[in-house]
Amino acid sequence: MASVADMKAELQALIDHAEAASNNTALSIALQTGRLDLVTILLTSIAVILAIGGLMAYFDIRSRVTTIAERVAREECLKIAEGRILEFSNDELPKQVRRLMEDLLPQHSTGGEEYGAEEEDER
């Protein structure tokens, strides 16, 4: 049978082995073997690639939005301009033509119905 001193020595050896094993964590092992540097480089590379991709996506989206906004603005401007032209040609233009004709040809005014006057039924 083993003596108390042998058992004490064996127990001390187990404690020393456990303490040595606790110092060898994954972080310390990675530092010792150089794997942590590799992980750092990989993570940095991934971050740089994502940043470049994000910038490219931003400029692409901005370009597309600008193109769409210009197209929509042109369409809206055309609609507004057509409406204004129709409004002017229906409301203001006949009045101006009538006034100019009366100024140019005052001797032909008969005093009756004015030149270019429209009947209400036609509208």
For 37-88, the pLDDT digits (tens) are 888 889 999 999 999 999 999 999 999 999 999 999 999 999 999 999 998 8
Domain count for the chain, please give it. 1
112 inside domain: no
Report the distance separating Cα 46 and Cα 52, nearest Å: 10
Q: Up-side HSE of residue 61: CA atoms within 13 Å toward CB?
A: 6
69 inside domain: yes
List the domain range (segments joined by +) for residue 18.
9-105
Q: What tens digit of pLDDT does each residue of 74-119 get?
A: 999 999 999 999 988 888 888 888 888 888 887 655 555 555 555 5
Q: Please tell me whether residue 82 adopts helix, strand or coil conformation.
A: helix
34 inside domain: yes
Q: What is the pTM of this model?
A: 0.46
121 inside domain: no
User: What single letter denotes the amino acid at residue 18?
Assistant: A
